[in-house]
Chain A
Amino acid sequence: MALSDKELNEIAYLARINIDKDSFPALKGELEQILDLFEKLNLAETDEVEAMSHPLNLSQPTRPDEVTEEDQREKLQETAPSVQSGLFLVPKVIEGEN
């Protein structure tokens, strides 16, 4: 199965991973090899088979609506790359008029 540069670009953008153009050929080769591995599945007859998303046939457990976690904002933000006044700092998201 062949991947085009355009497809690889799209996947990389969906995954939000910057990829250098010069690593495209090698990466495409590796990904194509992995995709080829999947061809085998086409031999399996699965029309009547129910998809298995999980090894346990569990229903989502529920619990009483009670507070179990205390606020730990400061502790949790100790590991953040950039914080100010209890907020996570990122580059400007909404551009101003100027």
Chain B
Amino acid sequence: MKLHELSLKEQLTGLKEGSFSSTELTQHYLDRISNFDKDLNSFITVTEDSALNQAKESDKRYKSNKALPLDGIPIAHKDIFCTEDILTTCGSKMLSNFKAPYSSTVVSNLSSDGVVVLGKTNMDEFAMGSSNETSFFGPVKNPWNKEYVPGGSSGGSAACVSAQLASAATATDTGGSIRQPAALCGLTGIKPTYGRVSRYGMIAFASSLDQGGVLARSAEDSAILLESMSGYDPKDSTSLNEDVPNFLENLDSPIKGMKIGMPKEFFERDLPNHVESSTKEAIETYKDLGAEICEISLPNVDLSLPVYYIIAPAECSANLSRYDGVRYGYRCENPKDIEDLYMRTRKEGFGAEVKRRILIGTYALSAGYYDAYYLKAQKCRRLVANDFTEAFKSVDLILSPTTPDTSFKAGEKSDDPIEMYLQDIFTIPANLAGLPGISFPCGNHEGLPLGVQLVGDSLKEAQLFQAAHQFQKVTDWHKKLPEVK
């Protein structure tokens, strides 16, 4: 078996047993990146020298029996996570020259556990997009079929893991940006409970919705990585002061008797046959595993999309006001006065989708519209969240398709914002309620993968990993990988 075909867990075992060194593994991935990524465009920055240095240090630790929990595993970071002295662009011209002066907590946590960082992955600009076509650094291709998009906003992270150019990758999810690309690229992706993973040094889009997480090839690999990333961080005032359980402990426990709800509002939608059948097949698998399946109702879930597209742009318009061309990032040429400096820097530095959202958010927060839009959306957000609270009184997990369909062709939806927004119809509700959600592969249609999503109650990531792992023990969708040429 080739090194890139091994799972993260198998690679850890191989490193521990001395079957190969981290230097060999890292060089192997760097070679694959240089062979295949020109075309896929999943990386914005490849940190070859520092990766090989980190690998060398890791090999030394293995030799002196001082290995760290994730020692020598080569991963990639979404370019939304600040990495000290390394370019951190967030997919934008605005930050195209920005070398972060400090590292995010996610990056620091993983580094203290010994990972090797291969580089920074491409993404939709400021994480706004569902196809990775809004990046200033060009679109990312789906390794399953290069005419198709990898999803977004964590499209680079998804494409590089799917193409086996990294063992796993970090990602973020504001409305589906981990789970949707996971589904479109045939990966397992988890968005944990809001507050589980520190947002310190994670460039803000919509602060009450953003959450860091993982894209990997299996539930088990995701669990290993998420455990290292998670934990209370005094530098993030919304970080949850809760112990991180051992996410691996219950992976092998049977799920017999676990109650899984299917929201009827999701299944009443006009789903394509292949989406419906693969989701139903996943449900059958869960029945065979001993889970109890029942229909539930989330009566207000249809409000999620409009609620999201008020709240996220409102928060984004406030967060992105910091990009003014004064202290860091892009600045326009020859500003004639301070106003011109602001207005032209922001005109030239932001792409079309980011500007649309800033304008919508500014409108929703402006005098005279605040109550009608922003306040109304916040009240409706409560209704959506309450539906979940009610549902979790009778079920453990909630199952649905992750996306309305398989991937779509590049350019197909890029001129129609609303069509693009509909990509996240099944994923947004969990962000509004702050709940953990996982997507994993459950089928394939015409050569493109399909994903199924499980949403759990607050802090129940371990249960999500367990349910996904049990599914992956009896299916092999997650083992199918694209042949990269």
Q: A residues bordering B, Cβ < 8 Å?
A: 7-8, 10-12, 14-19, 27, 30-31, 33-35, 37-42, 44, 46, 49-56, 58, 60-61, 63, 72, 75-76, 78-82, 88, 90-93
Contact = CB atoms under 8 A, between A and B. Distances in A.
Given A79-B101, A80-B327, A91 B363 contact: no
Given A31-B356, A41-B306, A79-B328, A16 B101 contact: no
10 contacts: A15-B358, A16-B342, A38-B310, A46-B376, A51-B382, A52-B382, A55-B433, A58-B195, A91-B336, A93-B337
Nearest to B418: A33
A31 B336 contact: no
B contact face: mostly helix, strand, loop, or mixed: helix
B303 A88 contact: no
A52 B385 contact: yes
Contacts of B208: 53-55
B68 interface: no
A39 B303 CA distance: 10
A34 B383 contact: no
A14 B360 CA distance: 11
Contacts of A27: 356, 359
B194 A30 contact: no
Given A17-B359, A91-B335, A51 B101 contact: no
Contacts of A91: 335-338, 340-341
Contacts of B358: 15, 17
Nearest to B236: A61
A50 to B, nearest CB: 6
A33 B417 contact: yes
Interface in B410-455: 417-418, 421, 432-435
A18 B347 contact: yes
Nearest to A95: B337
B338 A93 contact: yes
A40 to B, nearest CB: 5
A50 B382 contact: yes
B307 interface: yes
B53 interface: no
Contact of B317 (A10, A15, A51): A15
Give the residue among B99, B321, B327 with the most A Cβ atoms within 10 A. B327
B238 A58 contact: yes
B326 A38 contact: no
Interface of B: 97-99, 101, 194-195, 208-209, 234, 237-238, 240-241, 300, 302-303, 305-307, 309-310, 317, 321, 324-331, 335-344, 346-347, 350, 355-356, 358-360, 362-363, 366, 373, 375-383, 385, 417-418, 421, 432-435
B379 A16 contact: no
Contact of A55 (B335, B380, B385): B385
B94 to A, nearest CB: 12
A54 B359 CA distance: 22
Contacts of A12: 359
B449 to A, nearest CB: 29
A7 to B, nearest CB: 8
Contact of B378 (A18, A51, A82): A51
B344 to A, nearest CB: 5
B206 to A, nearest CB: 11
A36 B303 CA distance: 13
Contacts of B329: 79, 81
- Can you list the 7 inter-chain pairs with the closest CB atoms, starting with the nearest? A55-B434, A51-B378, A46-B379, A81-B331, A52-B382, A18-B347, A18-B343
B362 A41 contact: no
Given A54-B238, A90-B338, A16 B324 contact: yes
A56 B326 contact: no
A56 B337 contact: no
A17 B350 contact: yes
Given A54-B238, A56-B240, A80-B328, A16 B343 contact: yes
B99 A79 contact: yes
Nearest to A20: B347
Contacts of A16: 321, 324, 339, 342-343, 346
Contacts of B377: 38, 41
Nearest to B302: A40
Contacts of A61: 234, 237, 241
A37 B305 contact: yes
Contacts of B326: 80-81, 88, 90
B355 A17 contact: yes
Contact of B234 (A33, A41, A56, A63): A63
B373 A38 contact: yes
Contact of B418 (A8, A37, A78, A92): A37
A34 B300 CA distance: 20
A19 B381 CA distance: 32
Nearest to B320: A15
Nearest to A46: B379
A34 B418 contact: yes
Contacts of B356: 27, 30-31, 34
Given A52-B382, A90-B335, A91-B336, 9 more contacts: A8-B359, A16-B346, A17-B359, A33-B417, A44-B303, A49-B382, A56-B194, A81-B325, A81-B329
Nearest to B355: A17
Contact of A44 (B341, B366, B383): B383
